[in-house]
Amino acid sequence: MRKVDNLALEARTEAWRSRRERVGYNATSAMLTAWKKAEDLAYLNEVSSVPLQQALRHLQTAFTNFFAKQAKYPRFTAKKKSRKSAEYTTSAFRLRDGKPMLARMTEPLDVVWARPLPESVKPSTVTVSQDMAGRWFVSLLCEDPDVQPLAENGAAVGVDAGLEHLLTLSTGEKITNPRHERRDRKRLARAARQLSRKATGDGSNRAKARRKVARIHARIADRRRDGLHKLTTRLVRENQTIVIEDLTVRNLLKNHRLARAVSDAAWSRFRSMLEYKAAWYGREVIVVDRWFPSSKPQRDSSRSGLSALKQEASRREP
């Protein structure tokens, strides 16, 4: 997938620079047919054509977003050791004995389900990926019938993000910052030093050391993601309206003294989870200006800034 994506990006970039020609998906699909006939790219015929076509479709989406000024120019995937993935659409997979079987395979994938697949649900895509720690994942995209809007409860809460406490709610509750990265900082530093001592190249010792570092990073990310899922699900279930600040995380990361702590807090991930879960369950997330005084008392009132956040939520309710 990486090779096809890079070839198509190179062809589209060259066409624009030399001839001011926009090359679309259909043209790159025709190029793929020619690439498969080349002697040095014959290995592309060993895999299903569906993931290769999906890579071209994703590149087309990336260019569409770029020309709409919604994203930066697509970049080349330079590292073979980066996360690998392949996406299969309905024509290239089926479920056999409750397990996905992909095109060009004789046996279904031996998967361990994170949760049961909803009954009478047909996945639209299957994505197989491998992370930097060497772990394999199979993701099935489907519509879950159990995800339904919750009954309205009229509750509203203001949420203030911080570092001393991960979140402070307008109810007075303070959510402890778990500081996942700090807990494994010594192990991570030790593994990074061991990796730096290995000779550069593709030797097996360096590969083992690289996977060790990646496993520690994966452990940190898994704990952080699990904690955020539990927290955002609880907030969405308990409140009809949730008010948060529009924090400019990108600017905060420029502060080298706070960058590591801000990154570990994962405020952007928290907001993203909160917004899509609110959309699922019929809740509302209100984002107020970052200059809203949520972390200090109001000048004309004894209420705290968080109380003002809650008042803002109540005022905006229909």
158-205: pLDDT as tens digits: 998 888 899 999 999 999 999 999 999 999 999 999 999 987 776 788
Based on the fold, state whether residues 303 and 231 are members of the same structural domain: yes
- The phi and psi torsions of 76 (rounded to 5 degrees) equal -75, 145
Predicted local distance difference test score (pLDDT) of residue 292: 60
> Among the listed ranges 76-85, 224-233, 304-313, which one has the minimum average pLDDT value?
304-313
- Taking CB atoms within 8 Å and a gap of at least 24, the contacts of 80-85 are 80/2, 81/132, 81/210, 82/2, 82/132, 83/129, 83/130, 83/131, 83/132, 84/1, 84/2, 84/129, 84/130, 85/1, 85/127, 85/128, 85/129, 85/130
Based on the fold, state whether residues 56 and 194 are members of the same structural domain: no
Predicted local distance difference test score (pLDDT) of residue 302: 33
Supply 259's token pair: 């960058």
Are 142 and 122 contacting, i.e. CB atoms less than 8 angstroms apart?
yes
| Beta strands 165-169; 156-161: pairing state | antiparallel
Has residue 41 got a pLDDT over 60? yes
Has residue 51 got a pLDDT over 90? yes
Per the domain annotation, does 148 fall within a domain? no
Burial tier of 207 (Cβ tally within 10 Å: 0-12, 13-18, 19+): middle
Are 150 and 281 contacting, i.e. CB atoms less than 8 angstroms apart?
yes
Has residue 295 got a pLDDT over 70? no
Count Cα neighbours of 88 within 13 Å in the Cβ-side half-sphere: 22
The model scores a pTM over 0.95: no
Per the domain annotation, does 106 fall within a domain? yes
Based on the fold, state whether residues 137 and 160 are members of the same structural domain: no
Per the domain annotation, does 75 fall within a domain? no
Based on the fold, state whether residues 103 and 181 are members of the same structural domain: no
Based on the fold, state whether residues 168 and 99 are members of the same structural domain: no
Higher-pLDDT residue of 64, 147: 64
Are 241 and 313 contacting, i.e. CB atoms less than 8 angstroms apart?
yes
Based on the fold, state whether residues 189 and 252 are members of the same structural domain: yes
pLDDT band for position 301 (cuts 50, 70, 90): very low
Per the structure, the complete domain to which residue 49 belongs is given by: 2-67
Based on the fold, state whether residues 272 and 239 are members of the same structural domain: yes
Based on the fold, state whether residues 100 and 169 are members of the same structural domain: no
Per the domain annotation, does 250 fall within a domain? yes
Based on the fold, state whether residues 57 and 136 are members of the same structural domain: no
Are 260 and 304 contacting, i.e. CB atoms less than 8 angstroms apart?
no
Predicted local distance difference test score (pLDDT) of residue 145: 85
Based on the fold, state whether residues 128 and 240 are members of the same structural domain: no
Per the domain annotation, does 9 fall within a domain? yes
Per the domain annotation, does 60 fall within a domain? yes
Partnered with residue 38 across adjacent β-strands are none
Q: Residue range 282-290: average pLDDT?
A: 87
Based on the fold, state whether residues 175 and 306 are members of the same structural domain: yes
Per the domain annotation, does 72 fall within a domain? no
Per the domain annotation, does 191 fall within a domain? yes
Based on the fold, state whether residues 16 and 92 are members of the same structural domain: no
Predicted local distance difference test score (pLDDT) of residue 307: 58
Predicted local distance difference test score (pLDDT) of residue 119: 80
Total number of domains constituting the chain: 3
Q: Residue range 69-76: average pLDDT?
A: 92
Q: What average pLDDT is seen over the chain?
A: 87
Are 229 and 221 contacting, i.e. CB atoms less than 8 angstroms apart?
no
Question: In sequence order, what are the residues at sequence separation of 6 or more whose Cβ sits closer than 8 angstroms to the Cβ of residue 58?
Answer: 5, 87
Burial tier of 186 (Cβ tally within 10 Å: 0-12, 13-18, 19+): exposed
